[in-house]
């Protein structure tokens, strides 16, 4: 009888552990969220941008009205949203930048093709000799400019040529500024296509421009003789402004095991940001509006929806949110799902590489690999392809994994180039960017692959529902109903021996 009892107990445990990992019976959140729901929100974001300078960048009227729209929609769905405000350094480019070679040859470089001004570049211009700083070995990323010692012997007043790699852009720029550089040219890594797409994240006092790898390498080679002179001009403006995050959570579910579902609401100054990241914002808004239709048994954990501000300025909204959490509050967050760019017109279904099989070096927290698997399982069941997307910390999940909170999500591609294998799996054109309108004025409703957006929204909804039901494979937290069922019966005492 003892063997039988143990076997029955094992079977009970196995069944209780297995059930939460499967899709819950009853309504399917992915089925409840319709493409028309997401499209309606995107049309609203587009109209807001159209009437407010063509942008929804943080610190502009377009962003503030996007916040009001999301809050209004959440209230209609029965949520009590809060708006979390924080100060940030607003930056914009107010004139045409210039980049040219003065000697030994005269060449003028084209903005958008050969160079761009990096966000948070200082205002001003410089004409000076160019000096290459700590040049990495051929074909390597290296860590040029990451240490003050890299500028030993640097001639004050020169323009610094620095390759992208290892540390934050602002570290390189500030080290150069401290060494007396009059401007900085940051060129891309050899394994990255095109112009560097990034932000300094905080103001610096000198002009900073970015170029593709090949142009940067050519300039470094030309600087060897000491007679390369460049001209750099940036027309920029910076001031303190206020930004907002919008937060809303389900009334149902455990408050000590919260699933945070986020997307950034802001665009860049250059365009309305309908794919980047209207698509992620619209998708989670549609999911939030329908999650209340799930049975209570399907929402055992609170789901906290978040629309981040100032992502394009350097993940500032999500960083502020995570930084203001107490240790106890952070411990109550089971995981973060992040959805950034879900409808790239030449895109993919990219699942964030939570188990770090691609070796991005971010050392994702324990449980991130399980989130990756959840997305892959969902799409495999539907016989739809996925690829792994590098888990680099470039989006709003970054601050979460930095404090040990597991994270994952979906990404359809930005300025990267589509491979032949990806074109075979997803259609589209190999050798072209996933999103040709990334960070550009043409990121409008015409810049969306609607079928891909639907598939990616389905995956976002499915993962939200799964983890609302159970986070067991991520953080070991079984649903409380299962835990109660596993509670041992009160033993019956006969003398000094307990009998089950």
In this prediction, residue 479 carries a pLDDT of 85
Q: Are residues 265 and 402 in the same domain?
A: yes
Two tokens, residue 125 = 């211009």
Of the two residues 82 and 11, the one the predictor is more confident about is: 82
Query: For residue 5, is it within any domain?
Result: no
In this prediction, residue 12 carries a pLDDT of 36
Name the domain boundary from 175, 199, 234: 234
In this prediction, residue 313 carries a pLDDT of 86
Catalytically annotated residues? 311
Query: For residue 130, is it within any domain?
Result: yes
In the predicted structure, residue 177 carries a pLDDT above the cut 80? yes
- Contact 32/290 with Cβ under 8 angstroms? yes
Query: For residue 307, is it within any domain?
Result: yes
In this prediction, residue 212 carries a pLDDT of 96
Q: Are residues 408 and 314 in the same domain?
A: yes
Q: pLDDT tens digits for 52-96?
A: 999 999 999 999 999 999 999 999 999 999 999 999 998 989 999
Name the domain boundary from 182, 205, 234: 234
Q: pLDDT tens digits for 102-161?
A: 999 999 999 999 999 999 999 999 999 999 999 998 888 889 999 999 999 999 999 999
In the predicted structure, residue 295 carries a pLDDT above the cut 60? yes
Q: Are residues 439 and 472 in the same domain?
A: yes
In this prediction, residue 160 carries a pLDDT of 98
CATH of the domain at 371: 3.40.630.10
As a whole number of angstroms, the distance between CA 185 and CA 230 comes to 10
In this prediction, residue 11 carries a pLDDT of 41
Q: Are residues 253 and 402 in the same domain?
A: yes
Query: For residue 212, is it within any domain?
Result: yes
The pLDDT-based confidence of 21 (bands split at 50, 70, 90) is very low
Q: How buried is residue 106: exposed, middle or buried, by Cβ count under 10 Å (0-12/13-18/19+)?
A: exposed
In the predicted structure, residue 500 carries a pLDDT above the cut 90? no
Of the two residues 363 and 71, the one the predictor is more confident about is: 71
Residue 304 contacts by C-beta under 8 Å, 6 or more apart in sequence? 247, 248, 249, 250, 258, 259, 260, 261, 333
User: Comparing 360-364, 376-380, 475-479, which segment has the lowest mean pLDDT?
Assistant: 360-364
Average pLDDT (281-299) is: 97
**Strand duo 183-187 + 208-211: pairing:** parallel
Q: Are residues 398 and 292 in the same domain?
A: yes
In this prediction, residue 17 carries a pLDDT of 41
In this prediction, residue 25 carries a pLDDT of 56
Mean pLDDT of the chain: 90
Q: Are residues 307 and 454 in the same domain?
A: yes
Number of domains making up the chain: 2
CATH of the domain at 157: 3.50.30.30
In the predicted structure, residue 363 carries a pLDDT above the cut 70? yes
Average pLDDT (436-442) is: 96
What are the strands of the beta sheet with 159-163, ordered from one edge?
107-108, 98-103, 229-234, 124-132, 159-163, 183-187, 208-211, 116-117
Query: For residue 497, is it within any domain?
Result: no
The pLDDT-based confidence of 499 (bands split at 50, 70, 90) is very low
In the predicted structure, residue 483 carries a pLDDT above the cut 80? no
Query: For residue 112, is it within any domain?
Result: yes
Q: Which domain holds residue 204?
A: 95-234
In the predicted structure, residue 486 carries a pLDDT above the cut 50? no
Distances (CA, A) of 74 to 303, 469, 493: 14, 22, 55
Q: Are residues 120 and 256 in the same domain?
A: no
In this prediction, residue 155 carries a pLDDT of 95
In the predicted structure, residue 488 carries a pLDDT above the cut 60? no
Name the domain boundary from 198, 219, 234: 234
- Contact 145/185 with Cβ under 8 angstroms? no
The C-alpha angle with vertex 99 and arms to 96 and 102, in degrees rounded to 5, equals: 135
Diameter of the chain by CA atoms? 100
Query: For residue 13, is it within any domain?
Result: no
Average pLDDT (310-316) is: 91
Q: Are residues 295 and 361 in the same domain?
A: yes
Report percent pLDDT > 90 for the chain: 83
Question: Which residue, among 220, 187, 181, has the nearest Cα to 204 in the 3D structure?
Answer: 181
Burial 285-316 (b: 16+ CB within 10 A, else e): bbbbbbbeebeeebbbbbbbbbbbbbbbbbbb
pTM above 0.85, yes or no: no
Query: For residue 284, is it within any domain?
Result: yes
In the predicted structure, residue 2 carries a pLDDT above the cut 70? no
Q: pLDDT tens digits for 207-266?
A: 999 999 999 999 999 999 899 999 999 999 999 999 999 999 999 999 999 999 999 999
The pLDDT-based confidence of 198 (bands split at 50, 70, 90) is confident
Average pLDDT (295-307) is: 97
Q: Are residues 49 and 105 in the same domain?
A: no
**Omega of the bond leading into 104 within 30 degrees of 0 (cis):** yes
Q: Are residues 218 and 322 in the same domain?
A: no
Q: Are residues 313 and 425 in the same domain?
A: yes
Q: Are residues 449 and 470 in the same domain?
A: yes
Report percent pLDDT > 70 for the chain: 91
């Amino acid at each position: 009888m003892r063997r039988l009892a143990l076997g029955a107990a094992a079977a009970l445990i196995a069944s209780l552990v297995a059930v939460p990992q499967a899709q819950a019976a009853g309504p399917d959140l992915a089925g409840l969220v319709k493409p028309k729901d997401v499209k309606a929100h995107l049309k609203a974001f587009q109209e807001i941008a159209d009437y407010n300078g063509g942008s929804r960048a943080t610190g502009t009227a377009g962003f503030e009205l996007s916040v009001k729209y999301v809050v209004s929609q959440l209230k209609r769905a029965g949520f009590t949203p809060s708006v979390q405000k924080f100060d940030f350094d607003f930056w914009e480019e107010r004139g045409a930048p210039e980049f040219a070679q003065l000697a030994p040859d005269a060449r003028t470089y084209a903005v958008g093709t050969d160079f761009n001004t990096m966000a948070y570049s200082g205002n001003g211009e410089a004409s000076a000799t160019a000096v290459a700083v700590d040049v990495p070995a051929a074909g390597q990323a290296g860590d040029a400019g990451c240490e003050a010692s890299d500028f030993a012997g640097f001639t004050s007043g020169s323009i610094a040529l620095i390759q992208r790699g290892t540390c934050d852009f602002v570290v390189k720029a500030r080290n150069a500024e401290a060494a007396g550089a009059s401007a900085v040219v940051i060129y891309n890594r050899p394994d990255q296509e095109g112009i560097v797409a990034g932000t300094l994240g905080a103001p610096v006092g000198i002009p900073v421009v970015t170029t593709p790898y090949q142009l940067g390498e050519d300039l470094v080679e030309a600087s060897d003789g000491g007679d390369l002179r460049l001209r750099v001009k940036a027309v920029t403006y910076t001031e303190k402004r206020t930004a907002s995050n919008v937060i809303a959570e389900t009334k149902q579910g455990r408050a000590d095991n919260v699933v945070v579902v986020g997307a950034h609401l802001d665009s860049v100054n250059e365009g309305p940001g309908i794919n980047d990241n209207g698509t992620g914002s619209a998708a989670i808004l549609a999911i939030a509006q329908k999650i209340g239709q799930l049975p209570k048994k399907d929402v055992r954990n609170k789901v906290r929806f978040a629309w981040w501000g100032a992502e394009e300025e350097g993940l500032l909204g999500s960083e502020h949110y995570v930084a203001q959490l107490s240790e106890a509050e952070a411990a109550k967050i089971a995981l973060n799902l992040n959805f950034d760019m879900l409808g790239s017109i030449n895109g993919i279904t990219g699942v964030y590489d939570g188990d770090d099989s691609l070796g991005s070096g971010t050392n994702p927290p324990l449980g991130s690999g399980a989130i990756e698997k959840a997305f892959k399982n969902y799409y495999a069941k539907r016989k739809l392809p996925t690829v792994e997307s590098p888990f680099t910390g470039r989006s709003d999940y970054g601050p979460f994994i930095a404090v040990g909170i597991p994270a994952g999500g979906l990404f359809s591609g930005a300025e990267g180039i589509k491979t032949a294998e990806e074109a075979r799996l997803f259609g589209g054109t190999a050798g072209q960017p996933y999103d040709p309108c990334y960070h550009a004025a043409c990121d409008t409703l015409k810049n969306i692959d609607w079928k891909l957006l639907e598939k990616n929204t389905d995956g976002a909804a499915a993962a939200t529902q799964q983890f609302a039901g159970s986070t067991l494979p991520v953080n070991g937290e079984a649903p409380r109903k299962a835990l109660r069922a596993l509670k041992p019966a009160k033993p019956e005492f006969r003398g000094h021996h307990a009998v089950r």
